[in-house]
Structure 1
Amino acid sequence: MREISRLTSKGQITIPKAVREALSLGEGDLVAFAVADGQATMRKIAMRVEVADRDQANAQLDEWGGAADEDAYRDL
């Protein structure tokens, strides 16, 4: 499958419906990105995050475990 999405001026993209359906993505799901050799891949994190579960979700996202990241995502 190949889908195209446009990057906004705020650095946001819409994940195309076909991709959301293929990955069973829904509101509140987390996705992780990996970049290697000039290409990015995206994968679904296997849990939805409720406010009480943020520490557990952050443990799964160890590449985003710094203080700056915690500050940036605290109020999401």
Structure 2
Amino acid sequence: MQTARYIPFRKHDIITMCAKELNKDQQTSFKQLCELLASLIHFQYHGTLESLKNNYAPFDPNSDTRLINSVTDEQKAQ
């Protein structure tokens, strides 16, 4: 048995299939909830990505940007 977690449907298709299980009044609310959740996840991912970029910046050998505060070798070791 495979341990990989793969869902062979697009996000839009899953939302559509789930919405079909609801009545017409609930479908609109459900789709709005899905949009809000997708926005929240995107926002959290973006925050994590920016944090990773900021933490990696002092170590990036190919950086084209300048650092405002230089980092010592001791700080890099930490």
TM-score tier by shorter-chain length is under 0.3
Which has the larger share of helix?
2
Q: TM-score, normalised by structure 2?
A: 0.22
Which has the larger share of strand?
1
Larger Rg: 2
Q: TM-score, normalised by structure 1?
A: 0.22
